[in-house]
Amino acid sequence: MDFKFTDAQLMLQKVAREFAENEVGPIAAEIDATGRFPRETFDKMVKIGFTGIGTPVEYGGSGGNDIDKVIVVSEIAKKCGATAAILSIHTIFAQVIQKFGNEEQKQKYLPQVTSGGCLGAFALTEPNAGSDAAAAKTTAILDGDEYVLNGTKCFISGGGQAQHLLIFALTDPSKGLKGLSCILVEKGTPGFTIGKIEEKMGIHGSETVELIFDNCRVPKENLVGKEGKGFMMAMTALDGARIGVAAQALGIAEGALEESVKYMKERVQFGKPLTALQGLTWYISDMATKIEAARWLVYYAAHLKATGQNHNKEAAMAKINAAETARFVTNLALQIHGGYGYMKDYPLERMYRDAKITEIYEGTSEIHKLVISRAVLG
249-294 per-position pLDDT tens digit: 999 999 999 999 999 999 888 888 888 888 899 999 999 999 999 9
Quickly state the pLDDT bin for 134 (edges 50, 70, 90): confident
Q: For the chain, which domains are there?
A: 7-114 (1.10.540.10), 120-228 (2.40.110.10), 231-377 (1.20.140.10)
pLDDT at 236 over 90: yes
Q: Compute the CA torsion angle 368, 255, 258, 256 (nearest 10 deg).
A: -60
Tell me whether residue 207 is one of the annotated catalytic residues.
no
Q: What is the predicted pLDDT for the residue at 156? A: 96
| Euclidean distance between CA atoms 224 and 263, whole angstroms | 50
For 339-366, give the DSSP string: HHHTSTTSSHHHHHHHHHGGGTTTS-HH
Q: What is the predicted pLDDT for the residue at 257? A: 98
Q: Tell me whether strands 164-170 and 120-123 are parallel, antiparallel or unpaired.
A: parallel
| Euclidean distance between CA atoms 132 and 158, whole angstroms | 22
| Euclidean distance between CA atoms 281 and 51, whole angstroms | 38
Q: What are phi and psi of 221, to 5 degrees?
A: -70, -5
Residue whose C-alpha is closest to residue 369's, from 322, 317, 326: 317
Quickly state the pLDDT bin for 378 (edges 50, 70, 90): confident
Quickly state the pLDDT bin for 135 (edges 50, 70, 90): confident
Q: What is the predicted pLDDT for the residue at 215? A: 98
Quickly state the pLDDT bin for 1 (edges 50, 70, 90): low
Task: Please state, in angstroms and as integers, the Cα–Cα distance from residue 163 to each residue in 7, 68, 166, 185, 241, following that order.
Answer: 35, 25, 10, 9, 20
75-124 per-position pLDDT tens digit: 999 999 999 999 999 999 999 999 999 999 999 999 999 999 999 999 99
Residue whose C-alpha is closest to residue 58's, from 12, 20, 115, 140: 115
| Euclidean distance between CA atoms 33 and 27, whole angstroms | 10
Q: Tell me whether strands 139-143 and 146-157 are parallel, antiparallel or unpaired.
A: antiparallel
Average pLDDT, the chain: 95
Q: What is the predicted pLDDT for the residue at 188? A: 96
Task: Please state, in angstroms and as integers, the Cα–Cα distance from residue 26 to each residue in 77, 85, 251, 360, following that order.
Answer: 13, 17, 17, 27
Average pLDDT over residues 18-35: 97
Active-site entry in 126, 198, 362, 366: 362
pLDDT at 223 over 60: yes
Q: Radius of gyration (Cα) for the chain, nearest Å?
A: 21
Q: What are phi and psi of 358, to 5 degrees?
A: -65, -15
147-186 per-position pLDDT tens digit: 999 999 999 999 999 999 999 999 999 998 899 999 999 9
Q: Tell me whether strands 223-224 and 208-219 are parallel, antiparallel or unpaired.
A: unpaired
Total-model pTM: 0.95
Using DSSP's 3-state secondary structure scheme, residue 143 falls into: strand
Q: What is the predicted pLDDT for the residue at 2? A: 66
| Euclidean distance between CA atoms 146 and 216, whole angstroms | 9
More confident: 345 or 130: 345
